[in-house]
């Protein structure tokens, strides 16, 4: 999913917080090329939809 699609999925599910995960771990061109500006786009899309964006580091617990 793109960052925007992740936010829209959270909106469709009625969530008030959306958590970004699995980004920054799998960049492996030419098989998989990660989206540019993921954190900024994710936070912007969440703010536009009025939900909280949680950016969680790899291995950090989600509370």
Task: Give φ, ψ of 59 to 5 degrees.
Answer: 90, -10
Q: What's the domain count of the chain?
A: 1
Does residue 49 fall inside a structural domain?
yes
Q: In this structure, how many other beta carbons lie within 10 angstroms of the beta carbon of residue 38?
A: 16
What is the extent of the structural domain holding 35?
A: 3-55
Retrieve residue 8's tokens. Answer: 């829209």
Cα torsion at 33, 62, 52, 25 (round to 10°)? -10
> Is 18 a domain residue?
yes
pLDDT at 23: 82
Q: What is the pTM of this model?
A: 0.84
Dump pLDDT digits (tens) for 28-56: 899 988 889 999 999 999 999 999 999 98
Residue 63 pLDDT more than 80?
no
On whether residue 60 sits in a domain, the answer given is: no
Tokens (6 digits) for 42? 């994710």
């Amino acid at each position: 999913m793109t960052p925007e699609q992740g936010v829209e999925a959270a909106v469709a599910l009625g969530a008030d917080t959306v958590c970004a995960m699995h980004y920054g771990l799998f960049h492996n061109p030419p098989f998989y090329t990660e989206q540019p500006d993921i954190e900024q786009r994710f936070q912007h899309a969440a703010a536009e939809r009025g939900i909280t964006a949680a950016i969680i580091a790899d291995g950090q617990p989600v509370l």
